[in-house]
Amino acid sequence: MANVRIWRVLGILLGLVVCSSCGDDNEYPVFKFGEDGTCYYPSVSAISQESFEETVVGYGWKHVSTHEIKENGECLKEEYYAGLDGAGPSYYYFESAASLKTFMHVDAYPVNGFRTSAYKYIDANRVVVNNQHMIWQILSVDKGLLKAVEYLGVRADGIKVYGYVTYKRMTEQELAECRESYPVDLSNLKDLVISVTEENVFVNGKEFEFDVLESNGAYIVKALNEGTCSITYDDNHVKVKLLKSSATITVSDILKHRRFWLFSTDEELEPTGTDIYDFTYTELILDKSKELVAPDGYVLNYKSARMETKAREEYYGSILSKYNPSGLAVVDTDKQVRFFRLNRGEIYLNELLPPTVLDELAEAGEGHAIEYKLELVNAAGAVFQVLPFKVVYK
């Protein structure tokens, strides 16, 4: 008899577990999609305009949970925002029967801010923003908890994404803290636009000017490294005077940053005292077969041969981390500049000496040469060493 009772108790407990699991499965409603891809709950109980204004309007609503609604109308049990990079839930404040504030984080800037939108509460408990799209279909508002279908966005394939959401009514203090945490008005965002369109800017002198065409309020212009230049600006016009041969300039407003590298070919600004690297070659010969020949007579493979930087023996140590060559500015005798990103301090000869350059040298005839200044640039955008390089046609 004792064994029978034990098995009967176990059977009852197992039945409770099964029933509990059934209850979990049924806690999510099943939704439908219209022909235009809009998700809705077909059996929603009507909430009057008056009731909506009494229970929703005038309050802030903080996120509790979101469960994505699949194409078959069923909900995924996992929290939608769990592990989702670059996105998070929004918070809402229905400040009147016609004005809605949405608080959100915009990862692209990044910034916490709000948008103010006109909205209407229309049939089937729908909240429609700016006469364009439904953001909510409210299913219920009970004891400070609001459940709804929420429009979450559009995937890359054009499919609209909806979620079954729960929000909790904020206290006055929570609403005040929310407004403080999302201070930027996203309705009036501007791009940070400057008249400089290139990442690398080359000038022959020591001065450069540009304009800040659009910004989000006040802006700041500064150099990445102090002592490389002096900067003055009046209204939207900026003047930069170089004190070194290069400077990294950053323009910032409260949301965005624009950066460019300013480089001068003025010989008075060239660096001195940092001659710590050698290149593989300082001089090459272009022979009558248009092949490049090293000083020791070795004919180089034009397609694969590389020039590489090598630190002089006396400089091995911690100093190399500061002067590790990351870029190369190639300056010709007319002060025309080409810029290259170096891969571990190396550059292919066919990049440094393209076929058109070699053809022109050969056409110039016996004994003619092309000469460059090879200016090594570190990761901070500072020119730290100038090396000579020459190719002679023989």
Domain at 193-269: CATH code: 2.60.40.1080
Classify 28-188 by CATH class. mainly beta
Which amino acid type is present at position 304?
A: S
Is the Cβ–Cβ distance between 383 and 244 less than 8 Å?
yes
Contacts for 103-106: CB closer than 8 Å, 24+ residues apart:
103/178, 103/179, 103/181, 103/182, 104/182, 104/186, 105/182, 106/186
Pairing state between β 327-332 and 160-169: unpaired
Which amino acid type is present at position 301?
A: N
Dihedral angle computed from the Cα positions of residues 270, 275, 281 and 286, in that order, rounded to the nearest 10 degrees: 20
pLDDT tens-place values along the chain, 394 residues long: 444 444 444 444 434 333 333 334 457 899 999 988 899 999 999 999 999 999 999 999 999 999 999 999 999 999 999 977 767 899 999 999 999 999 998 887 778 899 999 999 998 999 999 888 899 999 999 999 999 999 998 888 888 999 999 999 999 999 999 999 999 888 877 889 999 999 999 999 999 999 999 998 889 999 998 899 999 999 999 999 999 999 999 999 888 889 999 999 999 999 988 889 999 999 999 999 999 999 999 999 999 999 999 988 887 666 777 888 999 999 999 999 999 999 989 999 999 999 999 999 999 999 999 999 999 999 888 999 999 999 999 9
- Count Cα neighbours of 13 within 13 Å in the Cβ-side half-sphere: 6
387 token code pair = 């090396």
Which run of H or of E encompasses 139?
Answer: strand 133-142
CATH topology assigned to domain 277-393: Immunoglobulin-like (2.60.40)
281 token code pair = 């070659």
Q: Tell me how far apart the alpha carbons of residues 288 and 220 are, in angstroms, rounded to a whole number.
A: 56
Whether 193-269 and 28-188 are alike in CATH topology: the answer is no
pTM here is 0.62
Work out whether the CA dihedral 202, 213, 254, 220 comes out positive or negative. Answer: positive
So where are the chain's domains? 28-188, 193-269, 277-393
